[in-house]
A and B are shown apart, each in its own frame.
Chain A
Amino acid sequence: MNHPINNQPVIDIQNVSHSFKGHRALQGISFQVQPQSLHGFVGPNGAGKTTTLKIICTLLRPQGGKVEVFGHNVQSAVKEIRKRIGFMPDHFSTYRQMTVFEYLDFFGAAYGLGVDQRNQVINDVLTLTDMDGRKDSLISGLSRGMQQRVSLARVLVNDPDLLLLDEPASGLDPRARIELMEILQELKRMGKTIFISSHILSELAELCDSVTIIDRGLVKYSGSMDGLLTHEQEHPVYKVMLEAEVEGLIDSLLREPGILKVEPTEKPRELRIMFDVTLTNTGNLLSKIIESNGTIESFQRDKKHLNQAFLDLTEQGVR
């Protein structure tokens, strides 16, 4: 089910707060998730990720603020929202005494699909998750990776527009994790909006278009992944890898107007260069290196690693 795309955000959270027994889990968070995007939701333990997810998927009533999913308020259009979302919690949530097919058929029926439809959809989702060879296996006999695939297949049974995934890769081995990420990319290509909460930051950086970082119930950053990785960099920083060391190159670059900082990195023959975009540009920078007899092997924007961005934005301390 792919609804026409418009500019309306799929998830629109405005100033939402929620408390449990005096503990403020969410303190007025706001962010949006755009259609057909893969949005990462990152935060340390106890930051409020699961609470936010439960509010979005109509399991919790927000105590303050407004939450809209597909333009519907979660408090008033519960049924409409449930039809269009697929929620995968941070545990398997499988009935272990059922076969894979029975489990998916169970949820197909729970979403009100007819018997014929269910057969077709289940075969499709099993193919997508590469589980068609195990459809008659008991879930209790499957590995963690396979059970996670079954969970993902279950999420897809009602062909939702929005997938809400809570730590989908936790406890999986590297191969299963890579395969899961590939499936998610495939789903994104198919036009699904995916909201994924995860601790595995390196994978999120590669996978997500946008990200929200939350800490102690407050949103620390929400926007594009590129924006986060270049966040708080007043002047752009580039890394240049040379084929060979060039004597006096650093001094000659520093004499150029607009170049603010040149320093070697931990790698041999690599320099990190910061410049003021109002006074110079990358073309001038490259010309100057070549003029100084430097042969360029690679040239790229130096982005912060997501881990670093995460550490910079979140506070220290165990919660």
Chain B
Amino acid sequence: MKRRLLQFGLPLLSKELTEMANRRRTYIIRTIYALLFLGCVGFIYMDSMVPQMSNPLAMLGRGREIFQAMVFLQFVAIYLLLPAITCGVITQEKERNSLGLLLITRLSPSTIILEKYLGRLISMLTFLMLGLPILAFAYSLGGVSPAMFINGLWLLILAMFQIAALGVLCSSFFRTTVAAFIATYLLGFLLLFGSAIASELNLLFYGDIIRALNKVVNQIPGFNNNFSRGSMDLEFLFFAPYWFDRFSWTPGSNSVVKTLIFSLPILLSTLVSLMFAHYFLVRRAFLPANNFLLNLFKSLDRLFSSINNNRVTRGIVLVNDYVHLPESKPIAWRETSKKSLGTFRYLFRILVLLEVPILFLCIIIATSNPEPIVPGAVILLWIIWGLTVLFLAVSATSLIAGERSHETLDVLLTTPISGSELLDQKIAGVKRLCMVLLIPLLTIVLFEAWWKWENSQMNRGNQYESQWLAYLIGSLLTLGIYLPMLVYLFCWIGMKIKSQTKAILAALGGIIAWCLLPFILAFPLFILIPRLNTDSLIYGLFLGPASYVVLNEIAEFHEFGSTWVPLVLNAMIYGGFLLLFRTLCRNHIDENLGRLGYDNNSYYRPDIDSVEGISFDQQSQLSSDI
């Protein structure tokens, strides 16, 4: 009997929960989340309820807005936080070499997956439960139908199941937490929005197929009333907030039934993710340490070589990729010859991979859209910006944190290379990467500027949409300032945080938080000062680096009254940040790296026969003694 109880004791789940309960950061994150969440809801409450304060009866029935806002905020929390919470669930065991120990216990792979999955779901559930008091309050105000209430809860839980399962799948597949983290966000993004983006860009006639499919579905009796929003219903099949928005307006049991039916794809995607997680758990439990990027590039190498070996090009080699030994800057040499994200041949691959589809898409977009703002190009630019941040976060944070994680930093620090020289050499590879990433970004910017110029000739669009010069200068300044700023910021984070994984996660989390900063700051401000005019704080948007990129792309300068003032202000703010991060990196670099420093910035390079320092004769002491 006792043994049976032990079998059902869920030991892994209790271990997970105990571990989480013992971590201080669990409580810190929960408190921050609670403050943000309550702040946001409070802001919405003040915004919608304050005008009705004088008449309490007018407040009745307004709970709907608060409830909706709360549900959407919880969705945002699930999509932003849950991948980070779940992606390390198996990879951490792999990194600690403890997964093997788990597999040789009586726990079956499915039990391991489910207990791990449950552990993270419970963790997320504690976040969501912070919304219960608000939910009760909103319900008491009235306006929330039972159907809306059930739909909201059901879809929140489903979204949680879906994203957690995706995180567990990536964790089961990948070897490191960093790879699983990136993959979870990318796959999540593709799962939720991939279909809509592909349809918008009409990639491989996907949009046409979706529209045709929608027509067919609408002709099926019984379905024709349900696909009332056209092809959008098919594009957002896996996106729970869409279905909440779709059915929350309709009261009655019918809307609950429809929500249940249309949430089946989400449930299915959850089950598929869990099945694959189970499939990969043992098969990919003991992966040898390998460089994922390097392997990717090697397979790309093979692909390009096979393409190159044809009758026309006959394997022509444009640039000989011979690795020379370092002359005088060994660290820069290693960064540009021995690392996947610094090597010329692989950077060229990245460039080709990004640039060719971009050029192709630009041509398609240009021939199909007569508006000065091209949504496809805008989305493409934002995606490339996202990739750029991702690449830079991984490569720049790993500059120092990687050396520390691989235990190679100490020996490097005992060499006479000065701290600032070490930093300059370390950044050499990332600089190359920046240049490569700059090309696709520039391509889109130049394309959009040209397109705006074309439209300005034909007087299409409003006064801001066709201001091609301001757009071009703003974009170029943004690129010129943001890229080095991000490099120094990530490099500094890598110096401060000892673990490479934590450094990358902190860098990515930090940049997301920074981009959302204006909105995070605005909520408490509006709550504390309800009479505050929104227009008076419009320049506060520039506290986040992404704001200007978004505004510039969609030409939303009406509130500013000019395109040039925001441009100059943004350039000044982030030029200042660039200088700040550069100074943070270079000042006290030796202390940040973990060694004693000295003032001399000159690179140590003694003469061959110098008396000072190392003085090797033509015959070294070692050789003379051998």
Contact = CB atoms under 8 A, between A and B. Distances in A.
A156 interface: yes
Interface string A1-18: 110000000000000000
30 contacts: A1-B614, A1-B621, A58-B595, A60-B595, A74-B596, A78-B597, A79-B416, A83-B604, A83-B606, A83-B613, A87-B410, A94-B408, A95-B408, A98-B338, A105-B330, A106-B326, A106-B330, A107-B411, A107-B415, A109-B326, A109-B329, A111-B415, A111-B416, A111-B614, A112-B606, A115-B325, A120-B618, A127-B623, A128-B626, A159-B621
Interface centre among B406, B414, B605, B626 (most CB of A within 10 A): B414
B626 A124 contact: yes
B156 interface: no
Given A109-B327, A158-B614, 11 more contacts: A1-B614, A59-B410, A60-B595, A60-B596, A89-B407, A107-B411, A111-B614, A114-B608, A121-B616, A124-B622, A125-B622
A87 B415 CA distance: 9
Given A93-B410, A94-B408, A109-B333, A58 B596 contact: yes
Interface string B590-626: 0000111110100111101000011110111111011
B413 A93 contact: no
A117 interface: yes
A293 B90 CA distance: 77
Given A58-B414, A124-B626, A95 B338 contact: yes
A61 interface: yes
A97 to B, nearest CB: 6
A98 B337 CA distance: 10
A87 B333 contact: no
Q: Which of B327, B606, B608, B625 has most A Cβ within 10 Å?
A: B625
B408 A117 contact: no
B332 to A, nearest CB: 10
Contacts of A218: none
B328 interface: yes
A253 interface: no
B622 A105 contact: no
A95 B334 contact: yes
Output the residue of B325, B417, B596, B626 with the most chain A CB within 10 A.
B596
Given A59-B596, A83-B613, A93-B410, A110 B415 contact: yes
A91 B407 contact: yes
B338 A79 contact: no
B598 A79 contact: yes
Nearest to B409: A93
Nearest to B422: A110
Given A85-B414, A112-B604, A120-B623, A78 B598 contact: yes
Contacts of A2: 621
A33 interface: no
B277 interface: no
A5 B333 CA distance: 38
B592 to A, nearest CB: 13
A49 to B, nearest CB: 15
B331 interface: yes
Interface in A85-103: 85-89, 91-95, 97-98, 102
Contacts of A79: 416, 598, 600, 604
A216 interface: no
B412 interface: yes
Most buried by B among A93, A109, A128, A159: A109
B414 A59 contact: yes
Nearest to B329: A109
A57 interface: yes
A239 to B, nearest CB: 38
A78 to B, nearest CB: 5
A106 B334 contact: yes
Interface residues of A, number: 54
Interface string A178-199: 0000000000011100000000
Interface string A233-274: 000000000000000000000000000000000000000000
A128 B622 contact: yes
Contacts of A30: none
A95 B327 CA distance: 18
B292 to A, nearest CB: 14
Nearest to A84: B614
Nearest to B607: A114
Interface residues of B, number: 45
Contacts of A60: 594-596
A106 B324 CA distance: 11
Interface of A: 1-2, 54, 57-61, 74-75, 78-80, 82-89, 91-95, 97-98, 102, 105-107, 109-115, 117, 120-121, 123-125, 127-128, 154, 156, 158-159, 189-191
A296 to B, nearest CB: 42
Interface string B568-599: 00000000000000000000000000111110
Contacts of A128: 622, 626
A58 B596 CA distance: 6
Rank and list the top 7 A-B pairs by shortest CB-CB distance, nearest first: A109-B330, A124-B623, A112-B605, A110-B415, A124-B622, A190-B625, A87-B414
Given A124-B620, A159-B614, A109 B328 contact: yes
Nearest to A92: B407
A94 B408 CA distance: 6
A85 B608 CA distance: 18
Contacts of B615: 1
Nearest to A89: B410
Interface in B392-417: 406-408, 410-417
Contact of B622 (A80, A98, A156): A156
Contact of B413 (A1, A59, A106, A154): A59
Nearest to B288: A140
A85 B605 CA distance: 16
Interface in B312-355: 325-331, 333-334, 338
Given A59-B594, A59-B596, A112-B605, A93 B622 contact: no
B417 A113 contact: no
A3 to B, nearest CB: 10
Contacts of A93: 407-408, 410-411
A298 B606 CA distance: 57
A102 B595 CA distance: 25
A121 B624 CA distance: 11
Contacts of A102: 325, 338
Contacts of B621: 1-2, 159, 190-191
Contact of B616 (A74, A105, A106, A113): A113
Contacts of A107: 330, 411, 415
Nearest to B595: A59
A157 to B, nearest CB: 9
User: Which of B327, B410, B413 lies at the interface centre, i.e. has the most chain A CB atoms within 10 A of its CB?
Assistant: B410
Nearest to A111: B415
Nearest to B340: A97
A113 B415 CA distance: 12
Interface in B181-204: none
A102 to B, nearest CB: 7
A89 B594 CA distance: 15
A54 B331 CA distance: 22
Given A106-B330, A109-B327, A124-B620, A82 B410 contact: no
A111 B415 CA distance: 6
Contacts of A84: 614
B7 to A, nearest CB: 35
B411 A89 contact: yes
Contacts of A97: 291, 338
A222 B407 CA distance: 30
Interface in B278-334: 291, 325-331, 333-334
A82 to B, nearest CB: 4
Contacts of B328: 109, 112
A110 B330 contact: yes
